[in-house]
Amino acid sequence: MPVVIDSAEKHGFLRCMEKTQQNNKLPLAGLRVLDLATFVAGPFSAAILAEFGAEVIKIEQPGGGDPLRKFGTPSPNGDGYTWLSEQRNKRSVTLDLRKPVGADIFKRLVKSADVCCENFRPGTLEKWGLGPDVLKAVNPRLVLLRISGYGQTGPYKDRPGFARIAHAFGGLTYLTGEPGGPPLTPGSTSLADYISGLYGALGIMLSLRAREETGQGQEIDVALYESIFRVLDEMAPLYAANGFVRPRLGLGTANVCPHGHFECGDGEWVAIACTSDKMWVRMAEVLDRPELGPDERYKTAAKRVANRDDVDGLVSAFTLSMPRDKVMAACVTGDVPAAPVYSIADIFKDPQYKARQTLVTVDDETAGEITVPNVLPRLSETPGRINHLGPALGDGIQAIYGDELGFTDEELAELKRDGVI
């Protein structure tokens, strides 16, 4: 289904689409992916591959399918908006892997697959007789992505885990909140899912590259908490070196200042980030206090951090003296890194988002026009694309089970009666 272009100003995206249409062979064309995973992390890995040409077969439980279908706000077709956005470009089949017949059908699919994504608790595939050793015997070239809360090994591997749990266990939640206050939700409760999905997609591409040399697939083990822990900058080496435990800093940031969120005179907020001494000099000019740039109290990052309250007070006095648009204009003119703290409503109106087509509207057959985030990353010669949004439950059964695997209509009806599909 085509992306709806609502303005002739969107030349870049139109050129991108034209180039894609001229070169239909996307980077991952010919790659077949079996997506057994549920909710966000594993399916996000598969969706990234699907955006760049991989054929992704979403394998769901008969009856209700992936629980993500009904998670969050329902769209006009009954499936949730998260489902429609994050399961883009996939086909759906239903299959109960717990039944021997279902497991046998899955093995037939594995024979022609390049990648399989799963995020069950460790040992689940093995319990169903579909562990890595079995799948490798069926197809030695298969790359198996396994995402779980705590990974496939260790004393906690059998515990259930979701993104919020990973944020807590991975160290991020501890940092979020006001000094002396309770730990707060670090923005999105799905951050660990999306970061793990990115690591999963990266692991798949690395494994496929290795397969070119070895001819063999391999397992990829991604733990949700490790994806969070990996992005916590200097915290691990610093603690190992001197035992320092970073506290909650509220609106501020460790090691640099001013570097936080500041309220404006109209009640809106801006983010300002002076990460170097040169940027502080620019900030002093914006404050109309150029003498503060070389001031001995503030001239280095360490001194500004030591006088954080004073520095933040100077910036706050400035931002509170005028509305946000004027604060932003002053910062942009002064080349100080700053951005408005946006709501989703602000995002939909911003010209930068429009110019880069960060949001696109897809005309879905059953849900109507749905606006979703566009494909990332942006490739100049073989850009990805959104062909359609999350599929209807079982929309690929006839093509995959009937046309490809050769099941007759009568056999498919029997499999459905038996709860296999």
- Using CA atoms, how far apart are residues 127 and 147, in angstroms rounded to an integer? 17
Residues 379 and 295 in one domain: no
Residues 293 and 376 in one domain: no
Longest CA span, the chain = 85
- Using CA atoms, how far apart are residues 57 and 196, in angstroms rounded to an integer? 20
Task: Give catalytic status of residue 221 as yes or no.
Answer: no
Residues 268 and 194 in one domain: no
Structure tokens that stand for 155 in this block: 């004393």
Count of domains for the chain: 2
Q: Within a domain: residue 31?
A: yes
57, containing H or E segment = strand 55-60
In the set 35, 66, 79, 193, the catalytic residue is: 193
- Using CA atoms, how far apart are residues 200 and 157, in angstroms rounded to an integer? 18
Q: Within a domain: residue 358?
A: no
6 has a pLDDT exceeding 80: no
- DSSP category for residue 356: T
Residues 15 and 159 in one domain: yes
Structure tokens that stand for 409 in this block: 């209509």
User: What pLDDT does 137 receive?
Assistant: 98
pLDDT average, residue stretch 123-151: 98
Residue recorded with tokens 């809360």: 149
Residues 332 and 381 in one domain: no
pLDDT average, residue stretch 198-216: 98
Q: Could you tell me the CATH number of the domain that includes residue 50?
A: 3.40.50.10540
Q: Exposed, middle or buried, 63 (CB in 10 Å: 0-12/13-18/19+)?
A: exposed
Residues 80 and 205 in one domain: yes
Binned at pLDDT 50, 70 and 90, residue 49 comes out as very high
Residues 294 and 185 in one domain: no
pLDDT average, residue stretch 387-409: 97
Q: Within a domain: residue 254?
A: no
Q: Within a domain: residue 161?
A: yes
Task: Say how many C-beta atoms besides its own lie within 10 A of residue 331's C-beta.
Answer: 20
pLDDT average, residue stretch 22-47: 92
Q: Within a domain: residue 200?
A: yes
Q: Within a domain: residue 361?
A: no
Q: What are phi and psi of 59, to 5 degrees?
A: -100, 115
**Strands laid side by side in the 115-118 sheet:** 90-94, 55-60, 32-35, 115-118, 143-148, 219-223
User: What pLDDT does 1 receive?
Assistant: 35
Residues 97 and 183 in one domain: yes
Residues 81 and 202 in one domain: yes
Q: Within a domain: residue 49?
A: yes
pTM score above 0.75: yes
Q: What are phi and psi of 34, to 5 degrees?
A: -100, 120
Binned at pLDDT 50, 70 and 90, residue 187 comes out as confident
13 has a pLDDT exceeding 70: no
Q: Within a domain: residue 160?
A: yes
Name the more confident of 375 and 7. Answer: 375
Residues 177 and 309 in one domain: no
Residues 147 and 274 in one domain: no
Residues 401 and 306 in one domain: no
User: What pLDDT does 25 receive?
Assistant: 86
Binned at pLDDT 50, 70 and 90, residue 24 comes out as low
Mean residue pLDDT of the chain comes to: 94
User: What pLDDT does 189 receive?
Assistant: 85
23 has a pLDDT exceeding 70: no
Domain that holds residue 180: 3-231+366-417
Among the candidates 326, 341, 356, a domain finishes at 341
User: What pLDDT does 324 receive?
Assistant: 98
The dihedral built from the CA positions of residue 300, 305, 306 and 307, taken in this order, carries a sign that is: positive
pLDDT average, residue stretch 102-127: 97
17 has a pLDDT exceeding 80: no
